[in-house]
Structure 1
Amino acid sequence: MRAACRQMVRAVTLVLGLVTFGVAVAEPPERQERETLRVCADGNNLPFSNQAGEGFENRIAELLAEDLGVPLTYVWAPQVMGFVRHTLELRVCDVMIGTVAGYEFVQNTNAYYRSVYALVVPEDSELEATRLSDPGFAGRRIGVVAETPPLVPLRRSGARIQGYPLMVDTRVRAPVRDAIEDVVNGNTEGAVLWGPLAGYYAARQDPPLKVIPLVDDDSGAQLDYRITMGVRRGEPHWKDLINDFIDRHQEEIDAILIEYGVPLLDRRGRLLGVDEGGDS
């Protein structure tokens, strides 16, 4: 019996040793030279990215590849639960162009833009709210994506909520586009959506819808976010390269974002381009 126990202990020790060894060698050293820019992206997620290269993240990726002097390639996957695990962590690609600051599954670069949720309404709407506590929301049917920050404050304001799903396979559903179409067709009186989505889809209606960034919100909900690029942990050199790119090309990046209708905030949370006493 004792001999059998000793053999079991030795076997377990061997297995643990192999596992430990495997972990030690599984993470290769950071590459200093990159032959191509391999981007992890959703192939059907405008205005951010698609396989035709029509999104603003596609445009920024092209700018980064040009700056690095390497070809640009993509690894496409729907941006649903497990996206990072199936792309960045598998080392089949090396950067996510759009990642919210503080996202725990990646190493964040410096932020390259900051945006805010916005109200989308018909051009002739009387609703001009820049905060979710505006009494004008009471009794109005307002579209909002489920589990997003505006949902609870809108309910408190008395809005009648039309909900849309948050986590979807973008190859099958486009809830934000549905929300915009409901505003166009009069099924809702407005929608509160993430700024880049609001600006992009509102501008593509005929006639265009009005976009009102919620810059004066006092509801306590976090409506503005800083957006970074996401890379793997343990790759400080790669992170520094991208930070340097962002610093040198910020004006070009801003121009791309403005072209796509993204509401941009400065470091103080004010809309870029809005003149306040001579300070824009």
Structure 2
Amino acid sequence: MSDRNASLAGFVRALAALCCAVFAAHFAWADPALPNNDGADGVLRVCADPNNMPLSNSKGEGYENRIASQMASDFGYKLEYTFFPQRMGFVRRTLRDKVPDTQNFKCDLIIGVPKGYDLTATTRPYLHSTYAMVFTKRPELANINTPDDLLKLPPETLRKLRFGIFSQTPAVDWLLGHNLIEQAVSYQAQSGDPAAFPGEMIEHDLAAGNVDVVFLWGPIAGYFAKRAGDSVRLVPFPPTPGIRFDYEISMGTRYGEKAWKDKIDQWIGSNQDKIDRILTSYQVPILPVTGATAASQ
């Protein structure tokens, strides 16, 4: 298997635990003696990645930015951000970090964390999506409508394909299970380069012919496939027994801030239709959300 450095910026970098890799910060419970920001002063302070489209960026162009903006508007709050690359140390440097010379936390809400994530308390899930394959439109791949269809290609065609994958994702296990891992081009989940972004796999390498099929977290795959226009196709992985490709996403708050978490929970429950419209506009593959509160207090 060949190796290549690329970067999965942002949460889904961390997500793929969801997906891609898990944050490696130490676990800490909130100190109840410290004051909570929790919007009491009319400000929604969001912790976000400045370069992780389609989730978020410093220009406010991601779907997480739009969800935060809608929430702030509904609460009648001003919206402020603390930006930090969403990789190792993200929670420690944002949600758990305080403004210098004060006891106030820098930010109070992470818009996207895996349901049940242990570094934060988690709200009810608001997004349920899945991994997807993206490949260029060409005759030999025209009949691929499900992931299993890829496996039905003529052996001589299948053997020539190069598969772009991020390390520590379900795609690795899927290729291993079908004896295709030797054809994989492996991308590192966390390269440390804050300027890199996960959609590069589609926008650069797929377009250049360096890989033939890429496997990405659905929200990322949908957004960059749309940007690529009619030159590519997207095929999502359905929820199936065995290797897990689908995950639910919640919002993250500090432990011990039950009233604040409950307020966010109530907003999600009352505004799922607004959230779904935002997600759909970014071509996010959407599966039904359980609606159950995932969480830790």
TM-score by length of structure 1 reads 0.80
Identity of aligned residues (%): 37
Deviation at 1:210, TM superposition (A): 0.9
What is aligned with 2:194?
171
What is aligned with 1:117?
131
What is aligned with 2:93?
86
Q: Distance in 2 between matches of 1:36 and 1:169?
A: 31
Q: Distance in 1 between matches of 2:197 and 2:237?
A: 23
Q: Distance in 1 between matches of 2:259 and 2:229?
A: 47
Q: Distance in 2 between matches of 1:267 and 1:77?
A: 28
Q: Distance in 1 between matches of 2:195 and 2:39?
A: 39
Residue 78 of structure 2 corresponds to residue 71 of structure 1? yes
Deviation at 1:175, TM superposition (A): 4.0
* Larger RCO (CA within 8 A; separation ≥ 6): 2
Contact 2:125–2:289 (Cα < 8 Å) also in 1: no
Q: Distance in 1 between matches of 2:170 and 2:196?
A: 21
CA deviations over 1:105-157 (Å, ceiling 9, x no partner): 00000000100000101233236253469524742211111111211221332
What is aligned with 2:163?
142
> Structure 2 stretches of 5 or more lacking a match?
1-29, 98-104, 291-297
Residue 59 of structure 2 corresponds to residue 52 of structure 1? yes
SS of corresponding position for 1:38? strand
What is aligned with 2:256?
234
Contact 2:165–2:216 (Cα < 8 Å) also in 1: yes
Q: Distance in 1 between matches of 2:265 and 2:192?
A: 31
What is aligned with 1:195?
218
Matches within 5 A, 1:256-271: 256-267=278-289
What is aligned with 1:184?
207
| Match among 247, 262, 268 for residue 246 of structure 1 | 268
Q: Tell me: CA distance 1:223–1:196, structure 2 relative to 1, closer, same or farther (3 Å).
A: same
Please say which structure displays the higher CA radius of gyration: 1
Contact 2:32–2:256 (Cα < 8 Å) also in 1: no
Residue 160 of structure 2 corresponds to residue 153 of structure 1? no
Deviation at 1:53, TM superposition (A): 0.6
Report the RMSD for the aligned CA atoms in angstroms. Answer: 2.3
Q: Tell me: CA distance 1:158–1:231, structure 2 relative to 1, closer, same or farther (3 Å).
A: same
What amino acid maps onto 1:65 in structure 2? A
Q: Distance in 2 between matches of 1:106 and 1:205?
A: 35
Contact 2:248–2:289 (Cα < 8 Å) also in 1: no
SS of corresponding position for 2:175? helix
SS of corresponding position for 1:39? strand
Q: Distance in 2 between matches of 1:87 and 1:103?
A: 16
Contact 1:45–1:170 (Cα < 8 Å) also in 2: no
Q: Distance in 2 between matches of 1:245 and 1:178?
A: 35
Name which of structure 1's ranges 95-104 and 126-135 shifts more when overlaid on structure 2: 126-135
TM-score by length of structure 2 reads 0.76
SS of corresponding position for 2:170? coil
Deviation at 1:67, TM superposition (A): 1.0
